[in-house]
Amino acid sequence: MSASTEKRALITGASSGIGKATALAFAAAGIHVALVSRDLEKLTAVAQNAIFAGVEAKAYALDLAKLEQVKEEISAIAADFGPIDILVNNAGMGYTADLSETPLSDWQRVIDLNLTSVFQCIQGILPMMRDRQQGTIINVASIAGKQVFPGWGAYCVSKFGLMALSKTLAAEERERGIRVTAICPGSVNTPIWDTDTVSVNFDRSAMLTPEIVAQSILQTALLPEQAVIEELTLVASAGTL
């Protein structure tokens, strides 16, 4: 990638799973990466691997669940790292429980992280993209943003909301040269299945890998500026969701 076409990306949830794989895929393609996550130790290791690939990479510890600081902190990260060409909103959480058994506090926690924090990250970056009349925003949604699954109520609602956010943003910002994509993967073999808020038993070997999803995100970001994939559904060819 020549100096005239160098790109800078900010990726949330970059310490593991899809975010980590995307960071490394971007680095391999010559895209400089600002990496955001709560876990600074893991994030720093990902940044070092990206640097080995020959790009600039920096780790920024930020808890996106603390909504009151997200917009300001994301703006500060962009100011420190340089103009952000690509924003990948990947951070999120899984959650399983019937709606009738979901406490309000859990409901709010899922909506806050999976939807509202994305809104705040976008607001933190959007003014700079508008100033430059260009930019790509990629929101990692889910197949659960297109169809519902029993026992995944709060999660599905958060991802349906993220789809609506993506579509509205795309319509509002298209004339300013800002592209918006919603990536909807099926089940992906990431640490989300090991968290204490998810209780299911799936064959993880049949799932998509983070690297496959990352390649889809990369190819979406590298499209010519005159084109955009506004929505992409990606599922395993083996048929598992």
In a domain, 240, yes or no: no
DSSP helix/strand/coil, 30: coil
In a domain, 175, yes or no: yes
Calculated CA dihedral for residues 112, 117, 118, 120, nearest 10 degrees: 130
CATH code of 203's domain: 3.40.50.720
Number of compact structural domains in the chain: 1
pLDDT at 205: 86
In a domain, 110, yes or no: yes
Tokens for 73, please give them.
């902190």
pLDDT at 2: 44
pTM: 0.95
Averaged pLDDT, 34-56 = 97
pLDDT higher at 204 or 62: 62
In a domain, 239, yes or no: no
Q: What is the pLDDT of residues 168-205, one digit of tens each?
A: 999 999 999 999 999 999 999 998 988 989 988 888 88
Which residues are catalytically annotated? 155
In a domain, 227, yes or no: yes
pLDDT higher at 17 or 200: 17
Burial of 48 (0-12, 13-18, 19+ CB in 10 A): exposed
Averaged pLDDT, 141-148 = 97
Burial of 171 (0-12, 13-18, 19+ CB in 10 A): exposed
pLDDT at 240: 62
pLDDT band per the 50, 70, 90 thresholds, residue 4? very low
Q: What is the pLDDT of residues 28-42, one digit of tens each?
A: 999 999 999 999 999
Mean pLDDT of the chain, nearest integer? 95
Q: What is the pLDDT of residues 81-103, one digit of tens each?
A: 999 999 999 999 999 999 999 99
**pLDDT higher than 80, residue 5:** no
pLDDT at 239: 60
Structural domain for 179, as ranges = 3-234
Tokens for 152, please give them.
């995944």
pLDDT at 237: 82
Q: What is the pLDDT of residues 103-123, one digit of tens each?
A: 999 999 999 999 999 999 999
Of 40, 223, 240, 28, nearest to 138 (Cα)? Answer: 223
